Amino acid sequence: MKLIETQITGTGSYVPRRILTNADLENMVDTSDEWIRARTGIKERRIADKNEAASDLAYKASIKAMEAAKVTSEELDMIIVATITPDMIFPATACILQEKLGARKIVGFDLEAACSGFLYALSIGSQFIATGMYNTILIVAAETLSRITDWKDRNTCVLFADGAGAAILRPSHGSSRIISSYLGADGSGADLVKVPAGGSRLPASIETVKNRQHYMKMKGNELFKKAVKMMAQTIEISLDKGNLTTNDINLFIPHQANIRIIKAVTKRVGLSMDKTWINLDRYGNLSAASIAVALDEAIRKKRIKRGDKILFTTFGGGITCGSILLEW
């Protein structure tokens, strides 16, 4: 069977209006603007309104992506929402989004791969294009991390925030395509970043709420070291698979967890920071949505042109990781 190449035909993103600065955080926990900037690179982040859930952010990003791709909601064949902060445990945020968009009764599901969610969705979506099963797929990464952030924990509350990014996948009619894709997971690191309660292991109770177990817990330092190593490895694998080197890359879009992680990775693999898209200074860590928002920004700011080789690399809870190389 001849496989069909996938093209991203449009992107969109949305970040909430409310800005939370490092100075604001100084009034909430024992931290400083200087520490946050120096240790993470983050200056400010966006926080969703009380009435904004993941599907609301997803909806706004999706509308923009469909407009950019000149696709109507009736044309969609599948919706994948990558998120660790769904509207509810179930039903899937993708089903809620389908209804909001007025799409047909098409397949929709949520994908939980933490910060790697957008790249997992891109890779999975492209398999349905490859076989000819579907023609138009909406992939969305939408996070409301402020809802699982412990605003009393300075180890995490300075890092995470809210936002969404979306893309439309369609069969490619030119040279635009996914050159190579590598996804991985290492469950031995499952304990490094998690929300302990609210699932079947530790259902919600007065105790779990009192113990603040519905908030994100992170062993930041251990994750940091693993992130640098795993991101560098996944880059090398995807470049090898695509028969390319770092010199061929026009733009590197990494997951935006920490500027020090990104700098260490670029140094290790020989990529230049000039060719690296950064938005964590403005948005912090958006988990699955970081790369999706960054891609949309880069396109809208005309930093990406036809024929460019784009490298995406991610790392996150699970531990999950991935690297996708594509020709725009």
Chain contacts with ligand UT7 (rule: CB under 6 A): 31, 35-36, 39-40, 115, 154-155, 158, 193, 220-221, 223-224, 227, 257-258, 285, 316
Question: How deeply is 238 buried, as exposed, middle or buried, from its count of CB atoms within 10 A (0-12, 13-18, 19+)?
Answer: buried
State whether residue 91 is helix, strand or coil: coil
Taking the least distance from each CB to ligand UT7, the nearer of 39 and 300 is 39
Residue number, 108 or 165, with CB nearest to ligand UT7: 165
Closest by CA position to 178, among listed 122, 132, 118, 135: 122
Which member of 95, 115, 157, 321 is catalytic? 115
- Could you tell me where the DSSP H helices lie in 41-115? 54-69, 93-101
Give the helix ranges, DSSP H, for 204-248: 206-210, 220-241
Angle value at C-alpha 214, between 39 and 112, nearest 5 degrees: 80
Catalytic pick among 95, 255, 258, 279: 255
98 vs 287, which CB is nearer to ligand UT7? Answer: 287
φ, ψ for residue 131, nearest 5 deg: -85, -10
Residues in the chain: 328
Burial 110-123 (b: 16+ CB within 10 A, else e): bbbbbbbbbbbbbb
Quick check: helix, strand or coil at residue 218?
A: strand
Choice between 158 and 161, CB closer to ligand UT7: 158
User: Is 229 exposed, middle or buried, given 0-12, 13-18 or 19+ CB atoms closer than 10 A?
Assistant: middle
255 noted as active-site residue: yes
Q: Is 11 helix (H, G, I), strand (E, B) or coil?
A: strand
Nearer to ligand UT7, 193 or 292 (CB): 193
Taking the complex as a whole, the smallest distance from the CB of residue 143 to ligand UT7 amounts, in Å, to: 11
Complex with ligand UT7: residue 83 or 258, whichever CB lies closer = 258
Minimum CB distance to ligand UT7, residue 196 (Å): 16
The minimum distance between CB 227 and ligand UT7, in angstroms, equals: 5
Nearer to ligand UT7, 131 or 221 (CB): 221
CB 260 to ligand UT7: min, Å: 7
Q: How near is the Cβ of 99 to ligand UT7 at its closest, in Å?
A: 30
Q: How far is the CB of 14 from ligand UT7 (least distance, A)?
A: 20
The residue whose Cβ lies closest to ligand UT7 is: 220
Q: Decide if 135 is catalytic.
A: no
Q: Is 115 a catalytic residue?
A: yes
Burial (CB count <10 Å: 0-12, 13-18, 19+), residue 248:
middle
Residue 127 to residue 3: CA distance in whole angstroms: 9
| Smallest distance, ligand UT7 to C-beta of residue 10, A | 26
Q: Which of 95, 157, 285, 321 is catalytic?
A: 285
Angle at alpha carbon of residue 34, lines to 314 and 38, rounded to 5°: 35
**Residue 108 and residue 328: Cα distance in Å, rounded?**
26
- What residues are labeled active site? 115, 255, 285
